[in-house]
Amino acid sequence: MADIIRRFGWRHLRSAPTTHVRHHRRGRLVHDGPGLSFWYRALTAALCEVPVDDRELAMAFHARTSDFQDVTVQATVTYRIGDPATAAARLDFSIDPDTGVWRSAPLEQISTLLTETAQQHALDVLARTPLAAALVDGVASVRGRIAEGLAAEPRLEATGLAVVAVRVVALRPEPEVERALRTPAREQIQQEADRATYERRAVAVERERTIAENELASKIELARREEQLVEQRGTNARREAEESAAADGVRAEAEAARTVRLAKAEAEAAREVGEARAQAQAAWLRVHADVDAATLHALTATRLAENLPRIESLTVSPDVLTGLLARLGRPEGDRG
């Protein structure tokens, strides 16, 4: 909407660069172009303001497929007014010279024109397409048909409109039909999920079985090695016992041999000692054989005295002394 300022019966209009303003005074075109700014009198001015920027028109309409199923088409058409003079001549874009507000609703007329034209071409396509095909490829086919139909529509060109782009946002059936169509897909997805779950569980079970088999194999290998270890320990113990017994045998034989040698040595020494003693005794006897009896008696007494115990004190009773004296008083022949 243009900005209009009042000054002493005059009006000043200032438009945006995206609006095309046409100013007629007394039936003559005075100003014509986008982004204008000028003074005018309200009583003699006829103003038109035509937007020339790109505008988005969202539309939604119902259609029926070849199998009599209702669908909703959601589309967006981008358009612009390519010929402002033609549009201003065909549609009412006049504005109030005091407020700058459109006297009618030209953009609503354009929206109705574009919507009905697009709907006509979309219905033509969907009427020959079953619901399943429409849901799969309907968006592209409807978009192409609407774009072609709007480009070839003579009324749009006659009105000064130019279609920039066409987009079909969605093509949806009724909620009940959509739920019915979703059911097989959901069931298939659920089946795929269940199959994936079962496969995952099977893989987990297989892995657990593999782990259990590996653990069992490890235990078997450990038991086999323990058996080998026990067998080796027994072999080592038996070998140690055999070696110990052999060492004990060698030690016993050495001890026996040493004992025999020692016994032989002792016997030889005893024999030599006996022979020496016998020789000494024989020599002693030979020496004493040439000595008279009195000398032998004296030696015997001496030897006897040497072997007698030590007498600390001697008590001689009168009877013993009397007998000894009487014996000493006898003649030498009677003493014997």
SS3 164: strand
Q: Which range has the top average pLDDT, 5-19, 266-280, 283-297?
A: 5-19
Q: For residues 72 and 172, is the Cβ–Cβ distance under 8 A? A: yes
The pLDDT tens digits of the residues spanning 40-98 come to 998 889 999 999 999 999 999 888 888 888 999 999 999 999 999 999 999 999 998 88
Question: Residue 21 contacts by C-beta under 8 Å, 6 or more apart in sequence?
Answer: 2, 13, 15, 31, 32, 33, 34, 36, 47, 48, 49, 50
* 70-81 and 10-14 strand pairing: unpaired
Residue 175 has pLDDT above 70, yes or no: yes
As a whole number of angstroms, the distance between CA 74 and CA 173 comes to: 11
Q: Which contacts qualify for 140-146: CB closer than 8 Å, 24 or more apart?
A: 140/168, 142/73, 142/75, 142/168, 142/171, 143/75, 143/167, 143/168, 145/121, 146/75, 146/77, 146/118, 146/121, 146/122
Residue 306 has pLDDT above 70, yes or no: no
Residue 215 has pLDDT above 70, yes or no: yes
DSSP conformation class of 102: B
pTM of the full predicted structure?
0.54
The pLDDT tens digits of the residues spanning 198-213 come to 888 998 998 999 999 9
Q: For residues 156 and 113, is the Cβ–Cβ distance under 8 A? A: yes
